[in-house]
Amino acid sequence: MSLFSFAFIFVGSICFSLGFLHLLIYSRRRDLKVDLAFSCMAFAIAFSSFFEIWAFKTSSLPEYTLLLKGTLTVQCFLWICFAWFVHYFTRSEKRWPPVLITILYGLVQAINIFSPGSILFREIVELDSFSMRMGEILFFANGPANSFRIIGDAAWIILLIYTATAFIRFGKRENPRKALIFGITIFLCLGLGYLHGTLIDLGIADPPYLGSFLFLPLSLVMSYSLAGDIVKASHLAEEIKVAESRWRNLLENVNLVVLGVDHDKNIFFVNPYFLQTTGYEKNEVMGLPFIEIVPEKDRDAIADRLRTVFTGNAPVLPERHLPIVTKSGEQREIVWSNVLLTNTGSSAAGILGIGRDITDQKKAEIGRDKAIRELESLKTKLEEENISLKEILQTDHGFKEIIGKSDGLLYVLSKIQQVSITDSTVLILGETGTGKELVARAIHQESGRVDKPFIRVNCAAIPADLVESELFGHEQGAFTNAINRRRGKFELAHGGTIFLDEISEMPLEAQAKLLNVIQERELERVGGSSTISVNVRVISATNRDLETEISAGRFRADLFYRLNVYPISIPPLRSRKEDIPLLVKHFVAVFNKKFGKNIEDIPHLVMDILKNYDWPGNIRELQNILERAVITCSMPSLQLPDDLRPLQEIGKTNPAPETEILSLAEVERQHIQRTLQKTDWQISGAKGAASILQMNPSTLRSRVKKLGLKKT
């Protein structure tokens, strides 16, 4: 083998190896089209070298012509690949120059194939021989030039201009150093090749053409750049490996649900917190279709969404709410932050979702919202019904039970026990202040309706024109001030007890409607047309003689008979004076606590005065007098006020007739005067009046002076 042949084979082998190497790189990284272009260039140089060896050494004109056409075809393909190499290497945005160069060189190839003498010669007349210094003979074609060669020259000039402008822009835009190195290398190769060809044409230099050799530096520079990229890639790979380890460690240990879904919509990654939350084992979910762990109602929508994301027809939502189903079937509410995973190209490889479990928060919010709705409903109901706390809760009267042990009171208690277990209508009769409401509450407390409302209505305190609205409610717009719909007392007392105090004060019109409610257990609101069923026990009370009211035409007889199913008469306090000491002790204890007093002793004189008083106001009057006495008393012994004269004037010294009702002050005055007369006006001492009255002697003297008592 001659040195000439060895050189061409050496260049061709190197270019072939480089072409194969870059083709292998492209097969792994389809986005590196610059490597594909360079691979095609290297293969073209290699084949051109082999064709040139055969062509230069053949003496047969037909064989030479065929080999020359083959060489020129490969070289045209080389320049096309070179144009695209420049385009991809410089990341040029203009695509039309390499397209134009491709079209021109494609036309040159067609002319080269169908022309008798190739693109260079119109026809090859003969072969000229040339003897090299080493004694090897080479043959070259000779003949008239092909006029279409100008197309190849134009394509060559456009290629040079495009290469220069592309590398200049690349240097300004991205990497000046890299652009300078490659630009100089390319133009040295092209320039030297063009210069050598021109010198051969002028007869100054000897053939053969060295175009293939001149491309060798460019190949070496490209390989050097590739080696640098490989080294850089190895460093980047190490950094990526460290970063991947760091991120994987983070994803494995973060208290968030982490889930990876591949392009086939199967799960390819889960972290331990996901397994802890869902109860799955890792081998149970790896490779499982993602839609298998979402609620069944969402599966079709999620499958469609994933399909559009992976086909590039829809973006991945950066954040969205999507529940997942655990192994036990429980649904966990998850808020996902999603990231689209891509291949080295632009295609989607999968989705990585990082989720925050808000199930407990959601439950708390639902409970909170439910509580708020219930509170709002209750608030609206209370506003609509205008119910005061006084009407719903039992009022504190100062005692928790009925106080007393008299026969009259025990009789009342037995009546309460009898009727409380029924739902019968009760009529409570008694003077003012005898405790009719307390009896009504006792009946309610002992009945099966104790957990339901006890609504008190004072019929005497409601204006006559508002009685029906108060008792039975009204619709919106029923009368001038009926701005909102309102439920009446009977509706409020549904299931419980309504206490109609002072029933004799109810207007006749309302009495008729009340009778219908008691009989039919249903009512109509004022201004309404619909019937409302109510289940209410009715207890009424009055201090008047209803039979007299019926005779006077102020009360309906039929309503009286309906109310008087089970009458209870409460005796007045003057008929149960043996209960007065118990009541006094009870009220004094209550007012001690209320006013911060410490009255422990109730003198016999005071108790006698209270027991001898007639109490026209009954227990309410006793309660009020004791409250005033506790307020004014500054001693541990109870003292009554001096001005307790509800029925008589102070100043009378003579005892009143037995038929006359005396005030407490007058009773006290007479009692002190009788005691002084019995002790012959001796105040102090063991047998003195102060000892008998259980008073301090100085207090008694002050009281005698104040009352104007004198020894006769």
Give per-residue pLDDT as tens, 40-59: 887 887 777 766 666 666 76
| Cα–Cα distance measured from residue 278 to residue 1, given in angstroms and rounded to the nearest whole number | 75
The per-residue pLDDT for 217 is: 65
User: Residue 341: phi, psi to the nearest 5?
Assistant: -95, 130
pLDDT band at 396 (very low <50, low <70, confident <90, very high): very low
618 Rama sector, left if φ>0, alpha if ψ -120 to 50, beta otherwise: left
Whole-angstrom distance, CA of residue 48 vs CA of residue 68: 10
Comparing CA positions, the residue from 74, 73, 95 lying closest to residue 84 is 95
d(CA 621, CA 166): 114
pLDDT at 22 over 70: yes
Measured CA to CA in angstroms, residue 316 lies from 322, 355, 429 at distances of: 14, 15, 81
Classify strands 348-357 and 257-262 as parallel, antiparallel or unpaired: antiparallel
96 burial level (CB within 10 Å; 0-12, 13-18, 19+):
exposed
Residues 6+ apart with CB under 8 A from 231: none
Count Cβ atoms below 10 Å from residue 579 Cβ, excluding itself. Answer: 21
What percent of the chain has pLDDT above 70?
79
Rounded-to-integer distance, Cα 573 and Cα 583, Å: 10
pLDDT at 210: 54
Distance (Å) of CA 106 to CA 78, 151, 158, 167: 11, 10, 14, 24
* pLDDT score of 659: 46
For residue 454, the model assigns a pLDDT of 92
Euclidean distance between CA atoms 149 and 642, whole angstroms: 145
CATH number of 390-571: 3.40.50.300
Neighbours of 7 (CB within 10 A): 15
**H or E element, residue 130:** strand 126-131
- Which of 136-145, 433-442, 468-477, 545-554 has the weakest average pLDDT? 136-145
Local confidence band at 321 (pLDDT 50, 70, 90 cut-offs): confident
Lowest-confidence region among 119-123, 159-163, 227-231, 331-335: 227-231
DSSP β-bridge partners for residue 541? 428
Residue 93 has pLDDT above 80, yes or no: yes
Selected residue with higher pLDDT from 135 and 589: 589
Token pair 């790189």 is at which residue?
25
How many residues comprise the chain? 712
Spatial CA neighbour of 301 closest among 323, 281, 286: 323
pLDDT of 568 reads: 93
For the chain, the maximum distance between any two Cα atoms, rounded to a whole number of angstroms, is: 184
Site of tokens 């000439």: 4
Homologous superfamily of domain range 254-357: PAS domain (3.30.450.20)
Give the fold, CATH level 3, of 3-230: Rhopdopsin 7-helix transmembrane proteins (1.20.1070)
Cα separation, 596 vs 186, in Å, equals: 111
* Residue 560, pLDDT above cutoff 60: yes
User: 454: which 2 tokens?
Assistant: 């006890």
Residue 83 CA to residue 160 CA, distance in Å, equals 9
In whole angstroms, what is the distance from residue 108 CA to residue 101 CA?
A: 10
- Residue 398 predicted with pLDDT over 60: no
Strand-pairing partners, residue 334, are: 357
Q: What residues have CB less than 8 Å from 572, skipping those under 6 apart?
A: 430, 431, 434, 615, 618
Kindly tell me if the per-residue pLDDT of 361 is higher than 50: yes
CB 127 within 8 A of CB 65: no
Q: Could you tell me how far CA 262 lies from the centroid of its own chain? A: 30
* E strand or H helix that includes residue 579: none
HEC-encoded secondary structure of 419-444: HHCCCCCEEEECCCCCCHHHHHHHHH
CATH code of 575-707, in short, is: 1.10.8.60
User: Where, residue-wise, is CATH 1.20.1070 in the chain?
Assistant: 3-230
Instruction: Show the tokens assigned to 171.
Output: 């240097």
Give the model's confidence band at 570: pLDDT under 50 very low, under 70 low, under 90 confident, else very high: very high
Q: Between 654 and 372, name the one with better pLDDT.
A: 372
Residue 397's pLDDT is 34
Cross-strand partners of 523: 532
Whole-angstrom Cα distance, residue 41 to residue 222? 12
pLDDT of residue 228: 62
Q: Find out whether 188 and 182 touch, Cβ atoms under 8 Å.
A: no
Report the distance separating Cα 315 and Cα 272, nearest Å. 28
| Cβ atoms 279, 327 nearer than 8 A | yes
Closest CA to 638 of 614, 668, 678: 668
CATH 3.40.50.300 domain range(s) in the chain: 390-571
Rounded Cα distance between 104 and 146, Å, is: 16
Confidence at 67, pLDDT banded by 50, 70, 90: confident
Which pLDDT value is given to residue 600? 86
Instruction: Provide CATH 3.30.450.20 ranges for the chain.
Output: 254-357
CA distance 371 to 42: 78
- Is residue 351 within 8 A of residue 274, CB to CB? The reply is no
191 has a pLDDT exceeding 80: no
**Over residues 145-173, mean pLDDT:** 85
* Domain boundaries for CATH 1.10.8.60 within the chain: 575-707
Ramachandran angles phi, psi of 578, nearest 5°? -65, -15
Do 183 and 150 touch, CB atoms closer than 8 A?
no
Nearest to 36 by CA among 45, 24, 47, 49: 24
Report how far residue 300's alpha carbon sits from residue 302's, in angstroms, rounded to the nearest whole number.
5
Beta bridge partners of 474: 486, 526
